[in-house]
């Protein structure tokens, strides 16, 4: 076990490295997400009016909204996964 006196210099060096912005682990932060990817997942299908029955046509329209939005979010998800893969393999600096 290390004596308390021997921990002081190590703690000091680590503290100074953090204060000066040196990376302890050698890793840097990934580039920020593109804005369109961030907002892609925010869009929601609008809920029906509370207490109002939907006609068959309105139900079909709502299903259509879900399908379009699902395809859009799936596309965004695939782009996000591809970006993550590229970051992990070093293709994005």
The model's pLDDT over 24-47, given as tens digits with 9 standing for 90+, comes to 566 677 888 888 888 888 888 888
- Answer yes or no: are the C-beta atoms of 48 and 22 closer than 8 Å: no
pLDDT at 61 (0 to 100): 94
Find, among 71, 16, 18, 63, the residue nearest to 43 by Cα: 71
Confidence at 60, pLDDT banded by 50, 70, 90: very high
CA Rg value for the chain: 25
Q: Is the per-residue pLDDT at 54 higher than 60? A: yes
Whole-model pTM?
0.59
pLDDT at 37 (0 to 100): 87
Torsional class of 58: left (φ above 0), alpha (ψ -120 to 50), beta (otherwise): alpha
Helix intervals (H) in 1-93: 4-19, 35-40, 56-88
Q: Can you give the residue ranges of every domain in the chain?
A: 4-88
């Amino acid at each position: 076990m290390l004596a308390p006196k021997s921990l002081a210099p190590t703690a000091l060096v680590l503290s100074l490295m953090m204060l000066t912005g040196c990376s302890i682990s050698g890793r840097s932060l990934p580039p920020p997400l593109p804005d369109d990817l961030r907002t892609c997942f925010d869009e929601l299908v609008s809920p029906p009016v509370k207490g109002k029955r939907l006609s068959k046509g309105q139900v079909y329209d709502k299903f259509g909204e879900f399908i379009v939005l699902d395809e859009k979010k799936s596309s965004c998800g695939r782009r996000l996964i591809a970006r993550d893969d590229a970051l992990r393999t070093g293709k994005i600096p």
